[in-house]
Structures are given as C-alpha cells and as structure tokens.
Chain A
Amino acid sequence: MARRVAICAAAQIRNEADIWYQRFQGMLLDCFESLVDQTGLTFDMDTGVRSVVTCSDDVFDARTISDNGMTDVVGAHYRGEEKMAQDGLNGLGYAMASIMSGHDDLVLLMGHCKESQSESRHMCTNLAFDPFFTRPLGLDYLNACGLQARAYMARSGLTEDHLSEVVVRARRQAAQNPFARKTSRVTAQEVSASPLVSDPLRALHYYPATDWAVGMLLCCEERVHEFTDKPVWLTGFGSCMDSFYLGERDLAFSVALQQASRRAFKMAGGIDTGDIDLFELNDAAAHQMALWAESIGLVPAGDGAHWLETGGPDRHQVNRSGGMLNGNPLMLGGLARALEAFQQLRGEAGARQVDGLQRALAHGTTGPAGQHHAVLIMEN
C-alpha cells in the first residue's frame, strides 16, 4: 500500500466580489508567503518542494497557459508545475497520486480565479457547450442549473420556499467565516422576490460572481512532522464523469456523484456516509445541496425536501462554510470545500466549529450542472 498523504497547511485570501486592486500574481503571493511562514517550506531539489500543482482556467483568465504568469509566485522557477484545469479538488486528488507514486514527497497546490475579470461569466461558461448545437441555443452553466433545478423540484417536491431557506442558511453560516465572500443577510422573502434569472432559479438562488486565491501544502506521511503537528490525512478520492448532453442525464439524481463518492468511500477503507462527521458539498445553486446529499447517499433518494424541512443540513453538519452558494469562483469551489473541512478537522473553524470531528467529505464539481464530480475523504 502506498504511503499516506496529508495536507499540512492552507492559506487563502478573502473571497471577494471584485479584486480590482490586485492581479492574480498579487493574490497568490499572499497565499504563498503565508504557507512559507506557517511551514518553513523550502524549494530545495532534494528536500523541498519541487512540484507545484496550480489550478486556473484559461477562459476565465483570458490567457492561454494561464499558469504561465504564475510560475514565479508559486515558487516553480526551475521546479515542476502542472495545471489542473478542472475544479481544484481534482488537484488534491492528483497531488495525492504524485506523492503516493513516490515521485514527490511534497506538493504545493495553488489556485486562482477571478470571475469579475470578464464582462460575463455566463459568456465564459456558454463556451463550454459545443459550437454547433448546444452553444447557439444559449446554454450556460446558469441555464443548465435552471433545467436541473426544475427536474429535481418536480421529482423531490422541493419548492421555491425550500430554495430560499437554503440561501438564508448559507449566508448565515458564511457570516461566521472571515474569509467568506461578504454577502448581505437576506430573508426568505427577499430571496423569493429576487428577479428570475433562469426559471425556476432566481438571482439569489445562484452563487454570486467571486474572486479568490488559495494554497495548500501536501506532504507524505514520513515527513509531515517537519511542517505541522496537525496533519489532515487524505484517505479517499474518487471522481466520475457524466454524459455531456443534459438530455442524456437524469438531472434529478447524479449517478456520477454517486460513483465518485463510492470510489472515495472504498479507497478510505470501505466507509459510508454514516462514518462521516462533516460534509462540504459544492452547491452552485440552491437546489443542489439536497440533490448532492441524495446522490452521495447521505439522504434517501427523493427525500431531499423532507431532509431540508427537518433540519437535515444542520444535523448532518453540511456546508458549515456557507457552501459555494455564498460565493466561491467556479474553478475553486471544491478547494473551498476542502479548506473548510481542513479547518474544521484541525479545530480552526472559529465560530463555525463543529466538535468531535474525525472525518469529513469535500466535494467538487466541474462542467454544466455537475457533469464531473470529485469527492475527497479527509481525516484528522
């Protein structure tokens, strides 16, 4: 069995609506310096970091090889660097593999994204659709979520009131996180009164455009003590790709997420949701928390509405961070989920802290309405 991998340290800047005053390099440098401060890591070819995994997106950055401009600020000058061009949670899975393979002892993971840079993030996600059919129809990730919400609400009985309550809770949770995006505290009525953007989704049912940067240091078991006395072990990872055309998928239940989570559970020693104390599910829209909860098997299929009504999210410790719904950029949602789980498992979650945690699940999504899912199991 390959050696275990842990996250030793994490650093982030605050999620914001528009970081007009810094470019990516400045954003990442803050994270980089914090990690060096926290861990004393070096870049020595024999004993230090010699591989970096970055996470960014060329379309959102409007820059081919978007990692090109970051090499120096992530310490990768004369070192290895590979860009994860999917949700950053996959970067953690890949970093795990790099260390478990024996190729590296240490991996630095650094992600950045500014949704504020382009005139419309929806124009960017529209480009994910094929040029001949789905793109000219005007599909983008928001519309895809709208279609998915309609399908899920029809099957589960979720109503607009449920959606609005989810948003209220998300913001209430996020208000306890100093690094969360500042969003206004809203009432359910205010959410339900926000304009319809993609029926049935209203403006406040969808995550707001966000800028962010984050970094983490991963290390092999044998050397973890050099960097931290509170390692968070990555014990399971799985991912799964669904089909492309929305019509070919069951939008009301994600088989891809079910598969991804099963693979992660198996790798973690054959566990199940009952063995997990905290869940961070990557919800870009208000209907998704319940939908993802069903898909990972936390909630019986079709029971999402009931689960929401009976305080399920609080009971199961779901999205104490506020989720992606409060605001994380598209590429980094999964990393934000992992970061919350990391802090929770180390007892560093401040006002959001849940006690007695041993194991958490972090989830990331890529593609329209979650075409690709990644699931990570983390333990202290």
Chain B
Amino acid sequence: MARGKKNRHVGIVGIGETKFSSHREDVNQPEMIHEAVRQALDDAGLAIQDVDCVVHGNMELFEMVHQPDMWHVLGTGAYGKDSFRITTGGTTGGTLVCAADNLVASGMYDVVLAIGFEKLQEGHTTGGITNMADPLWARKLQSGALTDSAAVKLIEEFGEKRAKRAAMTYRIIMDKHACLNPNSHRAFGLDWDQMDDLITDSPPLIGNLRLIHMCSQSDGACAMIFAAEERARQIAARPVWIRDHITVHREETLNLCTNYYPNNPTHRFAAEQLFARNGIEDPLDYFDVFEMYDPSAWWGVDWLRDFFLLEGDAHLKLVEDREIAIGGRMPINPSGGVIAANPIGATAMVRVAEAAKQIRGNAGPHQVPKTVRHALASSFGGTMWTVLLMLEDELDGWGMP
C-alpha cells in the first residue's frame, strides 16, 4: 500500500461473468446486467440484501442512455442502496474495482457490488470511440482505437520480420488461451502453421495492424463483490485481497510519432510508481500471472516491456520463448485477453476478475498450473490511460505496518 496506511483490507468475494458474444439481442440492458449480478451473488453465497453499495459505470453514448444507472436499477439490485456511478472510458472496469476498494477500505461500506457491462447498440463501436475526440478538431481525424503506431515502433526497433512474428506469436498464444476459456467471445483454434499466412493475408486495417491482431467487439457483463476483511473471511473461503492500485492519465492530445518511446508511457509510469511504493524490485519475478488489457497483439507485445520494467528485447524473448503461455514463466492473459473478448465497459473489470480466479485456483480449463499468489491486472483506455492493480492470496508480508 502507498504508505502502508490502508484503513482496512478489502477482499474479492464474488465474481460473475456472462459469456461474451456479439450482440446479445435476447436481453435488454438491465436484464444482461442482472445475469452477471446473479452470478456474482451466487458465487459469493450472498443475497442482494447483503450488499451495502453498488458501483456502476459505462460510456453512455455507447448504449445511448443518459444516466443509465437509473434505468439499470431494474437489474443492478441497487434499489434502496447507496450507489455511485464512476466512469473513465475503456479503463472503467478497472476504475470500478479501484472505487470499490476505496469505498470498502474507507469504512463507509462493508460490502460493495461493482458492475461493468457492454451492450453495444446498433451503433458502431469505433464510431462510438471516435466520439471521444475533441469535436473542434480531432473528431474528424481519429480512427477510433485503431493505430499503426505500435507496429511501427516495434518494426523500427527490431526489424520487420522479427516484430511481425512476435506479434503473431503473441496472437496465437492468446487464441490458444481463449480456446480454453468457455466465456471467450472468439476462439479460432489458430495454430503455428498458420503464422506466415496470417501475417500476410489477414485484411489490413491500418498499416501493419491487421484484422487478426485486433480485439473483438463484444457484449457482456461482469460483476464483482468486495468486502471488508472481517466480513470477507465470513463470506469466502478464499478472499482475494486487493493490495494496491494506481490510476495514471495523460492529456488528450496524442503525439504519436516514431521518436517517442515508450509508446504508452503511462503504463511504464504506473508500473514504476506502484512497484516502488510496494517494494517490488523485480515484477517479472514477483508476479505469478498478469491479466493485461491488450487491445491488439502489437500493443500486447510492446507493453510487456513497460509493465515489467524491462529493457532491450527482453520482452520479445518472453514472447518468442512462449514464456507468456499458460505453462510458461509469466503467463499473460490465460483468459485469452481483450483480443478474445472485449465488452468494453466490462473488459477492464474482467481482467481483475480473471486474475482473481487464478489466485483462487479454480479458473477452469485456463487455470495456470502453478500456485498463484501474486497477480497483476491492467486497464487501458482514454488517451493512453492506465489503471494497474495488484491482487494477493494472503495478507501476510505486506499491508499496514
């Protein structure tokens, strides 16, 4: 914790995730949320009456409802309870976890339910994202979340062949993970012998960024329940503890150009700050698993260097040696990550949920085959913003002095 001053500890005691898919046309927004809420309550063995406060967040223009937590009360269970609505774009799911942590740790609430969801309406996701740009200028130029900059950086630094193979290796590993996760939206069954064809034949979106590299557009919801230490131990056999979190934003202007390393500086800054204040010198050694918010395979490769504070081509080697696979030294996204499922409003929360499941040891077929005690989860959104969270299996060895 920042200065060892956390007022009280907070444990994750319930997790609910709907299966992620393209348009859920069989449910409306509150109904879809309700599915995840029910699952989280069942997972925790709680009834809605046991929840003190509900935290909700999304990007309204995607669902085209103003102050949606009002209508969504039909599915969130927030009736009669305290509730907050906090959003930060693509990082929203992570922000909701941070908010829940703050709210419970403060002593103001004992049990908090946080809900992230996405139900993209007939509108176009990328068009929805383009709406985030300054209406006076950038809106006419922005191409949503799509950019070639990550690929250009990697290619400039490591050469075209190596960079492209690394990105595709990452992609294939993510797909293999997705094939093990029953909740993923997309799991193609890609194999190594397809690598060369995919590199050349997948339809290009922007420059070297191809369709195969890019995350999906999914609908779905995720709900998580957080409880104060004493209560958490009553509720769950194995609460997953939130150790610390950091949010790092940056101004809206994007100065993407090829002499600007690293490509996403807030990731590196967040990692440096968070690890330093928690006394972690070697994050690659410390953590057992990392659920990283990876909107594209190119970014997935590039950001490994930032998050693990690596230098040179160490991150490329992690990918090339397949150490990022489920059985490897540093499993990345055993869930399949954002490329496999991207219900934007929930995605960042799903990273935390999946990391928590790994600590619990019962994630399912995509469980990493070793004891997971320390997990990391990241969020990405806005104009290269970061939320970074640390989860722990036990309370010993860290926390209040």
Contact = CB atoms under 8 A, between A and B. Distances in A.
Interface stretch (A91-99, A275-283, A297-305, A321-329): A91-99
A77 B249 CA distance: 6
A3 B7 CA distance: 9
Interface residues of A, number: 67
Interface stretch (B83-91, B210-218, B333-341, B368-376): B83-91
A351 interface: no
B61 A2 contact: no
B128 A64 contact: yes
B81 A240 contact: yes
Interface string B81-114: 1111111110000010011011111111000000
Contacts of A137: none
**Interface size class for chain B?**
35 or more
Interface stretch (A10-18, A81-89, A195-203, A225-233): A81-89
A59 B199 CA distance: 41
Nearest to B400: A102
Contacts of B82: 238-241, 260, 263
A79 B248 contact: yes
Contact of B79 (A2, A72, A124, A241): A241
A62 B59 CA distance: 11
B70 A69 contact: no
Contact of A72 (B69, B95, B107, B251): B251
Interface in B342-399: 381-383
A98 to B, nearest CB: 5
A171 B80 CA distance: 34
Interface stretch (B131-139, B180-188, B231-239): B131-139
Given A2-B107, A80-B249, A100 B86 contact: no
B37 to A, nearest CB: 14
A108 to B, nearest CB: 13
Contacts of B134: 69
Contact of B105 (A79, A102, A243): A102
B86 to A, nearest CB: 5
Nearest to A74: B249
B98 A267 contact: no
A103 B102 contact: yes
A233 B344 CA distance: 38
Contact of A58 (B61, B81, B247): B61
Interface in B60-90: 60-62, 64-71, 73-74, 78-89
B246 interface: yes
A268 B79 CA distance: 23
**Chain A CB within 10 A, most for which of B57, B80, B381:** B80
Contacts of A82: 86, 88, 95, 98-99, 247
A244 interface: yes
Contact of B70 (A45, A77, A240, A366): A366
A100 B80 contact: no
Interface stretch (A31-39, A128-136, A146-154, A174-182): A128-136
Nearest to A1: B107
B89 A100 contact: no
Given A101-B102, A102-B5, A243-B73, A65 B249 contact: no
B69 A86 contact: yes
B144 to A, nearest CB: 11
Contacts of A243: 73, 79
B88 to A, nearest CB: 6
Contact of A78 (B28, B71, B248): B248
Contact of A85 (B85, B250, B252): B85
A368 B135 contact: no
Contact of A127 (B65, B74, B132, B245): B65
Nearest to A220: B5
A63 interface: yes
B1 interface: yes
A171 B108 CA distance: 37
A72 to B, nearest CB: 4
8 contacts: A65-B88, A71-B383, A100-B108, A101-B6, A101-B102, A130-B71, A237-B108, A256-B80
- The 7 nearest A-B residue pairs measured at CB: A80-B247, A101-B105, A100-B106, A65-B89, A127-B66, A97-B106, A102-B5
